[in-house]
Structure 1
Amino acid sequence: MGGESENLRKQHQEEIEHLKRQARVELEDARHQLAHELDALKLKVGSEQANLLQSLKDKDQAMSEMRTHNDALLSDLDRERTMKTHLQKQMDELVATNTSLEGTVRTLQAQVHFLESDSKQQSDSFSAMEARMQEALRSAEEARQKLIKEETERRVLFNKYQELKGNIRVMCRVRPVLGSPDDPVADLDYPDDKTSAQICVKGPEEKNSLGRITTKTFPFEFDRVFNPQIANEEIFGEISQLVQSALDGYNVCIFCYGQTGSGKTYTMSSPDGMIPRATKMIYDTVHQLKEKSWSYTMEGNFIEVYNEELHDLLTPTKDQKKLEIRHDEARRTTTVLNCKSVLLDSENTVELMLNEAEKNRSVAATKSNERSSRSHSVFTLKLIGENAATHERCEGTLNLVDLAGSERLKSSGAEGDRMKETQNINTSLKSLGDVIEALGAGQKHIPYRNSKLTYLLRNSLGGNSKTLMFVMVSPLEAHLNETLSSLRFATKVSYSQATTCSKDSATDKIPVRNRWKNADDPVAALTTRITHGDKAFRPLTDYDLGRILETISDGFDGAFHIADSYVTDVRAFAGQRGIASDVDAAREQADEWEFMVDAMDWEAV
């Protein structure tokens, strides 16, 4: 039994092995079959995928072609719409033209009918219309010629009017209070409401001969006084006539004088100052004069006078060349060699010039002003006009001068470079006063060469010229002494009468000293009353007065030494006669002589 069981086990084992081998064969066959089917399936899927990709490409290409075609259709549509609009416009124009032509045809038919008419009345009417048309043409030509002639006559009459107003004019402007409102304000009064030509300044307290403390009021009178409420617009209204004179062919000089910080640069070069307003007026007037056959060319330059040296404010410092002044005596014109001149064809050009000059101008901090102009700036505008109808030619010059701030050397506290600047500023301002006084006195020799400023402005201060000085003053009590000095210097200028403005001739001059001799003089009246035949008293003679006037140019103390010496004699003698009131009158007269002293420190000069 045991052997039989073993056999059965082996038999079963062999059958199992056989079944395993058979299963492996079948499994391998199935695997190969599945692999073959998988390869076939992959091949089929790849083929179908390729077909799908190709189909997708074909459809994308078709879509792109459709888009292109659609864009072409839209472009054609836009073109058709544009063409339709253009054609509609042309059609409207043709309709309008047709309507106009129909009207013209009707007019021509009426004229033809009129010409073909045998009516004498219609023929006479046609002749009358023709005559009126010719008369109108003649009148238009006569009016044009009359307009040109009247412009020439206007220039002559306008210049005569300016001569009557004065060759040298002086105006005063008081700037508003700036900075701290707690700063004490000087006592300034404007008593003349009608002409606005007077200003009264209450002076500092001082002791009189009897030891009492008194305060004196100093009256000044100019061509016009502008209080702090007056704006630049109204001020320019006063000087616009001088700008017109420059257009008419005359040399004009407008300059601002005063202590540092009194508003000179603001008045002259601010955005609404005299320079921008003058150029705007010139552009507007030149445009209007085109109707009268006038055409103008305009050139401008900007020069600085610093420490008696000329600098071009329109040229960078590194590119500066030495400037040289050349005067043409025949044409009374001035040229500065190596100075940049700018053709002014628009108002914007002037604004750019001012900005460039502002960057290059010499300024520094002083005791009176943190940003004081330490140089004189001269904006020169040359105007050349020609008339195509009359062949007239005029050449005028407009000089707008912003003088450096004047300061007494002692009160300014200047040292080193600032001291040198102050001395040069005061020297040139003194030279300016000397030139104006020499012109007024009719002297043969005018000291233009004493400073670069007066030599540069030579042709605009005498002869063919009109001059206006703005004296700028501060309203603060701290600046009272400088204010009085500036007003006295301005009074000296206003008393000087330069030669009458004329292109070809000059009028007589009135010497300053003669006006003093003819003026009311309390001291002279006093000497007449108390000194006849008395050897103890020395009367004030014309020679004494002349010495006082002459020594003013040599120094402040020299003039007042003579004046005080004379008043001492008056007081000593009058004390014996008991006429102290007349002594006070003499003292006041001596004080009045101070107006002959310029606004700078003569001792520093």
Structure 2
Amino acid sequence: MSLRKNPPSPTKSCSPTKSSFLTKDSSLTNFAGWDVDGRLSEFESQFKIMKEAFEGTMTDRKALEEAIDLAKNRASDLEREKERLVDHNTQLQSQLELQRQEYHSLQQEKQSLLLQMETEQRRHKYELEDQQREHKHEVDEIRREFKAEVDKLEREHREALEAMERRYKAELADEQTQKSRELHELRSKLGAEKQDMNLELLKKEREVQEMRSQVEALRSDLDREQTIRGTLQQQIAEMSTTNMTLEDRMRGLRAKIEFLESDSKQQSDSFASMEARLQEALRVADEARQKLIKEETERRVLFNKYQELKGNIRVMCRVRPVLDPSEGEQATIAFPDTKTSSQIDVTGPEEKSSLGTVSRKVIPFEFDRVFEPSVPNEEVFAEISQLVQSALDGYNVCIFCYGQTGSGKTYTMSSADGMIPRATHMIYDTITKLAEKSWTYTMEGSFVEVYNEELHDLLAPARESDGGGGGGGGRKKLEIRHDEARKQTTVLNCKTVALDSAERVEAMLRQAQSNRSVAATKANERSSRSHSVFMLRLAGENAATGERCEGTLNLVDLAGSERLKHSGAEGDRMRETQSINKSLACLGDVIEALGRGSAHVPYRNSKLTHLLQYSLGGNSKTLMFVMVSPLEAHLRETISSLRFATKVHNTHIGTAKSTKKLRPSDS
């Protein structure tokens, strides 16, 4: 709709009843003129009021901009209409200016045209009033439409908010119900776990109290034994001095006897007196020897009680030194416990958190003893020598090395100053000393390996594949036999060597080492591909008391544990690695079953555990060396080995028993 804006009519029009005569003051005095500015100002004021109301409404409804696009378009139309009216007003002002000019030029003609002008003014007034009414009606219509649109949008927005609020309340109620249910389940689970932990804690406290009582009793027994031992050692020294004195006197008396050989009664009486003194001295010496034998028996009992306090399964850790700087970067390994040397801290591999931060955790481990790289074999053997003594006392003892390939297992066990040579030398030295206490020992040794779940004799003259059904050259298959009564193991068709000297043992070790299965892998240039087991059987007899004992010392060098990916094994090497890892896993299963006190222990799952059945069970003393590589490249295998060793360290297998019996008395 187009609107035409005409200049407003004068506020005061001439009355038609007035005189039509033109005088000097007749029409000029009360002539109001064309009040266009007033009319325009009034129109602009009304338009400004409308615009301010519209802008205020727009400001209040900014959140609903998309909904009021139509209203904005309407406002744009009004703006364009305003611009058109402004242009029209400008034109009218131009016309007014022209009329004013004409007014000044045509003042003389004004009177004649006054009637026409009044008529024109009335017409313009009526038209303007019509336009104002039409404009007001249009503005009111626009306002009604805009208000209706705004009300509609507000209603839709309110309904959407209410629907969203209802949906969120329902979701919140469901979430609260679920969380409440999960919280109740967690509280129930936590209560059950707490109750179990309290029961376990009470059980452990009772066990600790019992162990403390046993420790106190054994400490008092050990103190008494040490006191008795010191007294006996002093008595032995005194007896030795007395024996030497008596021997000197006997030599002197024999000389006198030879010198005084005659038939005189005085000489005979003197000889009888000396003979009586000699017999008395021999009797005292024999009593001292019998007492020493008795104290040796008591010493064995107290010594093995003391060993039992340390646990029948002990675990020690040894870190090998870096042999060459070219081996690679060293891992971060610390030894925080300098007092007891029982702790080792390993800095684990880099780990990335959910936030993207990279860190390395320090993993602590604790064992019975931890040996730093600088510790020699001599100091290591000093820690295990007590177990070798237990084998002499009639116990089954097993010492084995566990760890990845290249960690120093074979060096620790079979090198020139390793555990096997040192153990045999110690046994021979101890046997020599025990001979003074009427003990005599015989020793037999055999050396076998477990290769691909087959037993091979490492002391055979020409080693062939004898794990199958008979082997070549008429060789017989090695078979494992257990003596349940004596708790001892025998390998049928395996060569047994009588060991009467340390040199004989060293020769046997050289022969066995040359026959052992080794091969190169990516992890180690010369990796042991089999488990070697040195079995030393000790049989002792005391001629004075008739007591006999039978012990076994098993020294085991396990094959290197390694991951297939790291070792790069292929073909036969891969099958060897799989067999090695299987037997090591079976060893872990056996130790875990022993720790649980399971009625069934899966010894027969592997040749290795079947062979060591009586050296791992409750009738034995077991020591595990976990060997650790110092290199960063082997870090994951190192942590895996230490965790397995920790599981073994937490295992308890009961009390070991010695195999002893008395010689039947002669009838």
Which TM-score bucket, shorter chain as reference?
0.5 to 0.7
The answer to whether structure 1 residue 462 and structure 2 residue 608 are counterparts is no
Does 2:314 correspond to 1:150?
no
Q: Summarize the Cα distance change of 1:381–1:152 in structure 2 as closer, same or farther, 3 Å threshold.
A: same
SS in structure 2 of the partner of residue 210 of structure 1: coil
Q: Distance in 2 between matches of 1:486 and 1:478?
A: 14
Structure-1 separation of matches of 2:314 and 2:255: 66
Is 1:229 equivalent to 2:381 in the alignment?
A: no
Q: Within the alignment, does 1:363 sit opposite 2:510 as a pair?
A: no
Report how many aligned residue pairs link the two structures.
399
Structure 1 residues 347, 131: CA separation in 2 closer, same or farther (over 3 Å shift)?
Answer: closer
Match of 1:311 among 456, 468, 473: 456
What's 2:314 paired with?
169
Q: Which digits, 9 at most, give the CA deviation of each residue in 1:549-585, with x for residues without a partner?
A: xxxxxxxxxxxxxxxxxxxxxxxxxxxxxxxxxxxxx
1:475 is matched with which residue?
630
Q: CA deviation at 1:494?
A: 0.3
Query: What's the counterpart of residue 216 of structure 1?
Result: 361
Preserved CA contact (<8 Å) 2:393 2:658: no
**CA distance in 1: counterparts of 2:293 and 2:579, whole angstroms:** 49
Tell me how far apart the structure 2 counterparts of residues 408 and 226 of structure 1 sit (CA, whole Å). Answer: 25
1:105-504 matches, within 5 Å, as 108=260, 135-181=280-326, 183-315=328-460, 316-318=462-464, 320-503=475-658
CA gap 1:483/1:115 in 2 versus in 1, 3 angstroms: same
What is the rounded CA distance, in whole Å, between the counterparts of 2:463 and 2:340 in structure 1? Answer: 47
Q: Is the 8 A contact 2:551 2:658 kept in 1?
A: no
Q: Deviations over 1:348-394 (max 9, x none)?
A: 11111111111111111111101000100000001111111111111
The alpha-carbon deviation at position 195 of structure 1 amounts to 0.6
Give the % identical residues. 73
How many angstroms apart in 2 are the aligned matches of 1:333 and 1:204?
Answer: 44
| Separation in 1, partners of 2:542, 2:255 | 43
Decide whether the 8 Å contact of 1:440 with 1:499 is kept in 2. no
One-letter amino acid matched to 2:442? T
Q: TM-score, normalised by structure 2?
A: 0.57
Out of 351-360 and 137-146, give the one that drifted further. 137-146
1:128 to 1:464, Cα distance in 2 relative to 1, 3 A: same
Q: Distance in 2 between matches of 1:166 and 1:196?
A: 18
**Could you list the per-position Cα deviations for residues 444-487 of structure 1 after superposition, in whole angstroms to 9, with x for gaps in the alignment?**
10000010000000011112210000000110111111111111
Cα distance in structure 1, aligned partners of 2:253 and 2:616: 67
Tell me, in whole angstroms, the C-alpha distance in 1 between the residues paired with 2:515 and 2:296: 41
Q: C-alpha displacement at 1:260, in angstroms? A: 0.2
Describe the SS at the equivalent of 1:355.
helix
Alpha carbons of 1:417 and 1:133: their partners in 2 closer, same or farther (altered >3 Å)? Answer: same
Compared CA separation, residues 113 and 285, structure 1 to 2 (3 A): same
Distance 1:176 1:103 in 2: 65
Point out where structure 1 has 5 or more consecutive residues left out of the alignment.
1-99, 117-122, 506-605
Alpha-carbon shift at residue 152 of structure 1 (Å): 1.3
Residue matched to 1:49: none
State the TM-score, normalizing by the size of structure 1.
Answer: 0.63
Map 1:94-113 → 2, pairs under 5 A: 104=256, 108=260
Secondary structure of the corresponding residue to residue 401 of structure 1: strand
Measured after TM superposition, the shift of residue 156 of structure 1 is 1.0
Counterpart-to-counterpart distance in 1, 2:408 and 2:366: 20
CA deviation after TM superposition for structure 1 residue 428, in Å: 0.4
How far residue 103 of structure 1 moved from its aligned partner, in angstroms, is 7.2
Q: Deviations over 1:41-97 (max 9, x none)?
A: xxxxxxxxxxxxxxxxxxxxxxxxxxxxxxxxxxxxxxxxxxxxxxxxxxxxxxxxx
| Structure with greater Cα Rg | 2
Q: What code does the residue aligned with 2:384 have?
A: I
Q: How does 1:525-544 map to 2 (within 5 A)?
A: none
CA-CA distance at 1:138 after TM superposition: 3.1
Provide the aligned C-alpha RMSD in A: 2.6
Tell me the distance in 2 between the aligned counterparts of 1:463 and 1:415.
Answer: 39
> Secondary structure of 1:204's partner?
coil
**Equivalent-residue separation in structure 2 for 1:239 and 1:184 (angstroms):** 32
In 2, Cα distance between equivalents of 1:101 and 1:175: 64
Matched-pair contact (CA < 8 Å) for 1:440–1:498: yes
Alpha-carbon distance change, 442 to 108 in structure 1, aligned in 2, over 3 angstroms: same
